[in-house]
Structure 1
Amino acid sequence: MRSCLTREAQTLIRLSQVQRISSVFFGGGTPSLASPFTIATVLETVSRCAHLAADAEITLEANPTSAGASRLAGFRASGVNRLSIGIQSLDNAELRLLGRNHTADEALGTLEEAKKLFPGRTSVDLIFGLPGQSVSSWAGGLEELLQLCDDHVSLYQLTLERGTSLFKQVQRGSLPVPKQEVVAEMYESAREMLRDVGFRQYEVSNFARNGALSTHNLSYWQGSQYIGIGPGAHGRFVPRAHGESLREARIQTLEPDSWMKEVLACGHGTRKRTVLSQLEVLEEVLVLGLRTDIGITHQHWQQFATSLSLWDMFGSSEEVKELEDQGLLLLDNRGLRCSWKGLAVLDSLLLTLLNQLQQSWADRTAHGT
């Protein structure tokens, strides 16, 4: 596996036009099961193939059961400088429901060790909307965590994966999930709790204080190029052969054995390559950019649409104006962004905005502009 990771990294970095790398994120599955030596080897390969910035953010996702104190120290020595811990819950019954192997005490123990090794750069993940969870129980768990956490928190609504035991129980009705209005209240109460203790909601699911925003995630939401390495990874970059403008979406083979065979045969395990049209790129810029509190500045938009401004796309739309009047959206000299209120209901806004983008694009394409 290690040799295949390094070989694919070499191949894809060479194929891309990427010369400087500002962040590396070891995620997906449980990367903390890999050895610190594997992490160090991958980072050494990356730094040989491109300029890995001296202040690059190197994040590792970890589960409490695979991240003991000595192992965390090994990851720190290997070059990791930021840790994201999948705590998920501080309720043991909820952890069992999720199929997690750690207890709440083990999670808190890992958090304490991580804060010593990665001070100010330890993130925790929590899940809400679980079967049997109430607004008060969710708020209580979050309040407990806020007494102990570092400067970054990520909140995710439960996603039921087809085929899992939890999915089947929910489908049968034996484990009813909270109603959508209750889930919305959980999210809103969490936003307010985090804001009250100094956290900035810089993205729909992510909160930071003391400037501890994730460089890697911000780059992704801002539409930067990124290279995905390993089974099931995905990426967005402009291959050298395409010149300066045609961005590709790439997905790597999911099955590890098949992926390794492809890497050994071809240098990479890319299963699917899709050249994105300019409209598709703009759609991604819109959807991802509006997830952040900054939104999309005019300058940023012009990097992707040199001849069509945000004003051109959205300025004359009655539907967009209505969203502004409702206090959900702002289009001004800074750019396009959601209000605090709008960020909580982003999904409901995107349908209108994407329709408007597509209509404006079609109109201007028809007129040759």
Structure 2
Amino acid sequence: MKYHVRKKAILLLEDGTIFHGKVVGDRDGTSFGEVCFNTGMTGYQEIFTDPSYYGQLMITTNAHIGNYGTFSEEVESEDIKIAGLICKNFSYNYSRERSDLSLEDFLTNNNLLAISDVDTRALVSYIRKHGAMNAVISTRIDEVEALKKELAAIPSMKGLELASKVSTKETYFVGEEDAEFKVAALDIGIKKNILRNLAKKGCYINVFPYDTSFEEMESWNPDGYFLSNGPGDPEPLTNAIDVAKKIIEKDKPLFGICLGHQIIALANGIDTFKMHHGHRGINHPIKNLLTGKGEITSQNHGFAVSKESLEANPEVEITHIHLNDQTVAGLQMKNKNCFSVQYHPEAGPGPNDALYLFDQFIENMKKVTA
């Protein structure tokens, strides 16, 4: 191990529960956020840079984190988006030929506080029982009462608008300019791999900031529209909801993923809700109700679409269901060129069961441009 003497640290949950650990590296610090866990065995670099995780303290359930280092191309955004890392065993040494940096150096370069030697089995069991909640990780182990007061001032994820924190500030383009299809994407926390997959399918994508109006997006004359993934509660995103309503009114091809899926639901008057502890992992089972086929999917969301509210809307139907808890995993409008999914088809942790959804979007644009 690189460090012989490692500083003690604590994880303090908002209900007062404390878990003990040690700091990764030689540093002091304190970091606040909503604590959540991801069950993925691999893909930690992609998780840490996913904009959908903005403001969250990430618990990794895999026993070893950092063992294969990091690679500069395996990122979903320009920098780390999680608020802090909590793990069991942190690997200071790594072994993978194409890795160009250790996870420790990657975290240090991004000024991220991480703690290890935490009983993550007990911690995850606690979160599964009591729900996701705000928390703080800190080396200030003798200042628990002060940390409690500071933690009490941190806003709940429910009602929190975070798209503005991660969205691009200016429009930019991805793909070949002479590609077959033009796609206008509203960035409310978009992942790079979504853009890569759209470009691979023959799309030239214009990525717009989260507060862009429909009229500005429409002026580019796109063949289709995309609503991205992202962090926080969907309900405060009134502009994105308005954009979705206007796209639907004009019956333009529309595809939404994760937060974008929730925005499409809200645009149809369908309720969303904050989940008890969310879905975060790379092995979530989904059933496609249209084909009867199962899919192994990557998921990351703490909010979901209300099944009861959706079933009460005659214009929309459920297309996919999560087999663990029967929550809505996909929807489509019956008389409009619009569909969405709660999970991440661009994230193939082994199987690529859901890549067909990009093909479906392409087919929907072909019908309009033919």
TM over 0.5: no
Larger % of strand: which?
A: 2
TM-score w.r.t. the length of structure 1 is 0.29
Larger % of helix: which?
A: 1
TM-score w.r.t. the length of structure 2 is 0.29
